Amino acid sequence: MAETPLHQYKLQGKVTLYEGSKAVWHFLVLPKKESAAISHFFGSLKRGWGSLPVLVTIGKTSWKTSIFPDRKAGAYILPLKAEVREKEKIRPGDTIRFRIEVRP
Tell me the residue ranges of DSSP E strands in the chain.
8-19, 24-29, 52-58, 61-70, 75-79, 95-102
Q: Facing residues of 52 across strands?
A: 67
pLDDT per residue rounded down to tens, the chain (104 residues): 444 456 899 999 999 998 877 778 999 999 999 999 999 999 888 888 889 999 999 999 999 999 999 999 999 999 999 999 999 999 999 999 999 999 87
In a domain, 52, yes or no: yes
In a domain, 54, yes or no: yes
In a domain, 69, yes or no: yes
In a domain, 89, yes or no: yes
In a domain, 64, yes or no: yes
In a domain, 63, yes or no: yes
In a domain, 28, yes or no: yes
In a domain, 1, yes or no: no
The answer to whether 66 and 56 have CB atoms below 8 angstroms apart is no
Burial class (CB in 10 A: 0-12, 13-18, 19+), 60: exposed
Which pLDDT value is given to residue 104? Answer: 76
Domain of 12, CATH number, reads 2.40.30.100
Instruction: Domain of residue 47: give its range.
Output: 8-102
**How many structural domains compose the chain?**
1
